[in-house]
Structure 1
Amino acid sequence: MCRQNPHKVQIPISITPPKQRQVQSPKTSSLRDSNSIQLSPTEKTNLLFSSSEITAATNAFQSPKLGNSSAWKCTLRGKTVVVSQRPFPNSTPDAAQFRAHLADLCKVRHAGIVGLIGAYACGSHMYLVHDFQRGADLAHCLRSRNLIGHTVLSKWIHRIRIGSDIAKALEYLHHDIPIRYVHKHVKSSGIIVSEPDFRAKLVHFGSHMLTCERHVSGQAETRRSGSVKISGTHGYMAPEYVTGGAITPKLDVYAFGVVLLELLTGEEAVRYVYEEKETVYRKISLVEGLGHVNRGLRNWVDGRMMDSYPLDCVERVVEIARVCVDSDPEKRPIMRWVSNELSRVLIMSEKWEEDMRGNDGITISLVVR
């Protein structure tokens, strides 16, 4: 496990050694206990769940999944939670180190982060238990036409508030806690938006940290892609991570810059358009398209906002996004700077909306195409 101080939290734990017996699939009736982290009856904890608890809560994994993910909304210990399945190394981790690392992660609490409650490690899979957050993910809010009971983000103030919420959450992870973490999975589908206040939270916190991917604190850490599998979502991965496997806070900064571009345009990070003349698919990247923004901002910004936004605020967010997705990580800002800048933009946007409401409800900006 990759953690600065594995002895910070001392909690006794025992590991049951692997047993030579037939193993059932975790998708069927039960989970196996061999090669998993377990507690004796006198060592029960709020952080570690048992195989029987996970199996019962998910109805032996026959309960409906949340979207297309390997995650289930269920009830554990009387609380509504989300249980998500993640790949896990075949080798059993050091029990004390795992417990200490899990304890640190479960202490992370922020208004912009869906909290980690606990976990269960079993063979080649780990099951993470997070708080349940009602809402829809940002990707659906921006692009789905079939949202039931959830409003498409048609107002600028909602979008900039979402951006500010996530920036503050990442600032907290990078700068404001003793053990500083890289989230690594920042993307629009990993952000939950709640109504009616349209506040946003990061999900999947702790997933890569507990599955033996490295996190950083202070110093940059680099891994070679030839020896460590590179995992991530196309369009959000920073160039240095793709080529060298480097995981630093600048990885989150880059991905957040892509999310800002999604908030501005409503488009996917990467999409493919079929060219009939050449009979090929052409890749359209939001990051690569930044070079054409100045040719027509109004045509570039999401039309569902009906040109109703403060132009100076939109232009400022474009520039913030531009520096966040710089190909050189050294030229990207830190998240504290990004958060502070977006807070200023949010204040300006709130003032603009208030002024527009006082002007007979007219909120249309005369933005030149």
Structure 2
Amino acid sequence: MNHHVCNLIFFTLIILLSSKTKAQQNYSGNSILGCNNNDEKGPSPAFLYTCNGLNKSCMAFVIFKSKPSYNSISTISNFLSLNPKELARINSVNLFAVFPPGKEVIVPVNCSCLTNDYYQAETKYILGPNSTYLTVANDTFQGLSTCDSLMRVNRYGELDLHQGMELHVPLRCACPTYHQKTNGIKYLLTYSVNWGDNISYIATRFNVAVGNLLDANGFSTQTEMLYPFTTVLIPLQSEPVSSTTIVVNDPPTMTPSTGRSFKKCKSKKKVLIIAIATSVLVLCVILFLLFLFLFLLRKRSGSFFNRGNRVKNKIGISSEEIRGKIAIIEHISKVYSFEEITEATENFSSKNRINGSLFRGEFGNGKEVLAVKRMRGDASKEVNLLKKINHFNLIKLQGYCENNDCHYLVYEYMENGSLREWLSKNSSIEHQSLAKRIQIALDIANGLQYLHNFTEPCYVHKDINSGNILLNKDLRAKIAKLALAEESKIMITSDCPKSYVVGSVSYLAPEYLYAGVVSTKMDVYAFGVVLLELITGKDSITLQDGREVMLYEIIENIVDNDNEEEKVSLFIDPCLIGSCRKACALQLVKLSLACLIQEPEKRPNVEEVVSSLLKIQANDMQQRISPTINKSLSLER
């Protein structure tokens, strides 16, 4: 009996110690940059750091970058609810010190497990104008808090935030685990990732072993990608010293380990203005000389000078001019009254909620079903754009309403919801049809081609993802959410990347994510991710060996190798097995990977994507029809 009791005690101790030796907190990856995560199956790094340390509370540190309004000992201590004397001491400055913009300030915090799940340090924040949970987490607090944790600890709904409200803000911190304590680790510092940071650089800066840094954050290798506005934990054997902090200005130059090369962003607007002015002057001179040349030539020959797509038709209007005139025609959108909106949605009842702030509405005594999107802030940009566009594969704005600083946009109703929702289902016959998925891809590409080439001005969508692709009752795809669209003539942002980088990060092209470059090629990149989702049925970020990885990282290594068709078939959506032609699926995979090439200039443009999809669609149709024709011929014989 005693022997069994001893064994039981021994194994219990082993289990307890093994749980303590879970040295790492898992890195959040880009999941922290969204606001739709849940932790129903256990603590999630998209919220805060897990309460798995040896102690329930401890002294910890975070890095906060000085910025206007929060650039001195007094303002930072008030902002983060700190002792100003302790803040001055750890940064080796006096109580009246003012920091330059971008200076990394070491902030000591009391970190504790207020719940059984997560560590946190607490502060409060008074909301400014146009604030959202996401901007407070990623912009105001530089990723030291998270959107999901803010929504959990505050009672306000996402659409109920307004200037002057007080939010409780949980900050990301953690205490060392048993394993870390035994290895001499006394403190954990929460470091907010800068543009272009990588694991080796951070380890060198803070003089910590790369292995300890990998363990502390659950990294498997030191080449894993780090995302701006996320945090990593730095294990320290003593208090951090101010000499390890730097002033963060422009994004750091990309290191070879990132595998990407981007154009450097100019930090001074003055240089950009001079360059633009010079270019305009040169262009004016060239145009004047060209005009003079054409005038003399026309006078001499007595005929029109034809150039490319500016050939005049019989009524003397060029095709480019026709395109421009068609593009600026605004279709008439109905202005609804607020009473019509509330009646149609039954006062925004929960049974009519599609998701988030989108509701189903029955207008005209139920004769017409439409979707109503409730928005705070200025919606004029999206309304003005939607009034100008008219394409089957772009969501149609039927009307709008404004009431008490809220805007209500009324769209056509899409019966099958988002592409992401549709892919998560697997019961219908349509799910088993590769032809349907090719058509969906072609619909998306056609919508992008219209935005890129046939609007005036032309636009970049900037937020293509499977959640923003909607499907009607016939499973035809339409692109939605054009609020982030920018004119495509803007080939690079006017200044260096800011903390308000927008869009779903797993779909963002690297040149935009790391250097702020905006062009039509970033939509092509996002389309490549969506195309992979269509083929595999998986999310853009998926789990492999217990860690989150980009979907394309799993697949890109299997093409151009032996038996690539067989290997691709392993990743095809199981719903398609049996009806999916491997050669056709491989063509789709190769097209998606071409769209995902790191260098934007090497990616196809959207016209080439449409052309490739049409060829794939024709090949697929031929393969489906051929067996039927052969069978008919054999029966005739």
Deviation string 1:260-293 (CA, Å, 9 cap, x unpaired) is 10111111110235x5xxxxx4013112123222
Shift, 1:318, TM fit? 1.7
1:80-159 matches, cutoff 5 A: 80-88=369-377, 98=380, 102-121=383-402, 125-145=406-426, 150-159=428-437
C-alpha contact 2:413 2:472 (8 A) present in aligned 1: no
Q: Which amino acid counterpart does residue 183 of structure 1 have in structure 2?
A: H
Indicate yes or no: 2:203 matched with 1:203: no
Counterpart secondary structure, 2:467: helix
- For residues 502 and 385 of structure 2, the distance between their equivalents in structure 1, rounded to whole angstroms, comes to 24
User: 338-347 or 230-239: which moved more?
Assistant: 230-239
Residue aligning to 1:364: none
User: 302-311 or 247-256: which moved more?
Assistant: 302-311
Q: Structure 2 length normalisation: TM-score?
A: 0.42
Residue aligning to 1:57: 344
Q: In the superposition, relative to structure 1, how do residues 291 and 227 fare at CA in structure 2: closer, same or farther (>3 Å)?
A: closer
- For residues 585 and 333 of structure 2, the distance between their equivalents in structure 1, rounded to whole angstroms, comes to 45
Indicate yes or no: 2:542 matched with 1:271: yes
User: 262-271 or 300-309: which moved more?
Assistant: 300-309
Indicate yes or no: 2:557 matched with 1:292: yes
Gaps of 5+ in 2: 1-156, 161-331, 633-637
Indicate yes or no: 2:461 matched with 1:172: no
Q: In the superposition, relative to structure 1, how do residues 217 and 70 fare at CA in structure 2: closer, same or farther (>3 Å)?
A: same
Gaps of 5+ in 1: 1-24, 29-44, 210-214, 276-280, 362-369
Q: In the superposition, relative to structure 1, how do residues 183 and 125 fare at CA in structure 2: closer, same or farther (>3 Å)?
A: farther
Q: Which amino acid counterpart does residue 543 of structure 2 have in structure 1?
A: Y
Indicate yes or no: 2:534 matched with 1:253: no
Indicate yes or no: 2:462 matched with 1:184: yes
Normalized per residue, the structure richer in helix is 2
Counterpart secondary structure, 2:580: coil
User: 126-135 or 254-263: which moved more?
Assistant: 126-135
Q: In the superposition, relative to structure 1, how do residues 67 and 56 fare at CA in structure 2: closer, same or farther (>3 Å)?
A: closer
User: How many percent identity over aligned positions?
Assistant: 27
- For residues 420 and 404 of structure 2, the distance between their equivalents in structure 1, rounded to whole angstroms, comes to 32
Q: Across the two proteins, how many residue pairs are aligned to each other?
A: 298
C-alpha contact 1:57 1:75 (8 A) present in aligned 2: yes
- For residues 122 and 228 of structure 1, the distance between their equivalents in structure 2, rounded to whole angstroms, comes to 31
Counterpart secondary structure, 1:84: strand
Shift, 1:55, TM fit? 3.3
- For residues 81 and 233 of structure 1, the distance between their equivalents in structure 2, rounded to whole angstroms, comes to 26
- For residues 222 and 176 of structure 1, the distance between their equivalents in structure 2, rounded to whole angstroms, comes to 22
C-alpha contact 1:166 1:202 (8 A) present in aligned 2: yes
- For residues 356 and 326 of structure 1, the distance between their equivalents in structure 2, rounded to whole angstroms, comes to 36
Shift, 1:254, TM fit? 1.0
Aligned CA RMSD, in angstroms, stands at 3.2
Counterpart secondary structure, 1:319: helix
Counterpart secondary structure, 1:287: helix
Residue aligning to 1:313: 584
Paired residue for 2:514, among 243, 249, 252? Answer: 243
C-alpha contact 1:184 1:251 (8 A) present in aligned 2: yes
Q: In the superposition, relative to structure 1, how do residues 330 and 231 fare at CA in structure 2: closer, same or farther (>3 Å)?
A: same
Q: Structure 1 length normalisation: TM-score?
A: 0.70
- For residues 595 and 405 of structure 2, the distance between their equivalents in structure 1, rounded to whole angstroms, comes to 36
Shift, 1:104, TM fit? 4.7
Counterpart secondary structure, 2:459: coil
- For residues 122 and 144 of structure 1, the distance between their equivalents in structure 2, rounded to whole angstroms, comes to 37
- For residues 575 and 614 of structure 2, the distance between their equivalents in structure 1, rounded to whole angstroms, comes to 23
Counterpart secondary structure, 1:348: helix
- For residues 128 and 272 of structure 1, the distance between their equivalents in structure 2, rounded to whole angstroms, comes to 36
Shift, 1:152, TM fit? 4.9
**Larger RCO (CA within 8 A; separation ≥ 6):** 1
Deviation string 1:223-279 (CA, Å, 9 cap, x unpaired) is 657645223224212222222444322221111111110111111110235x5xxxx
C-alpha contact 1:27 1:61 (8 A) present in aligned 2: no
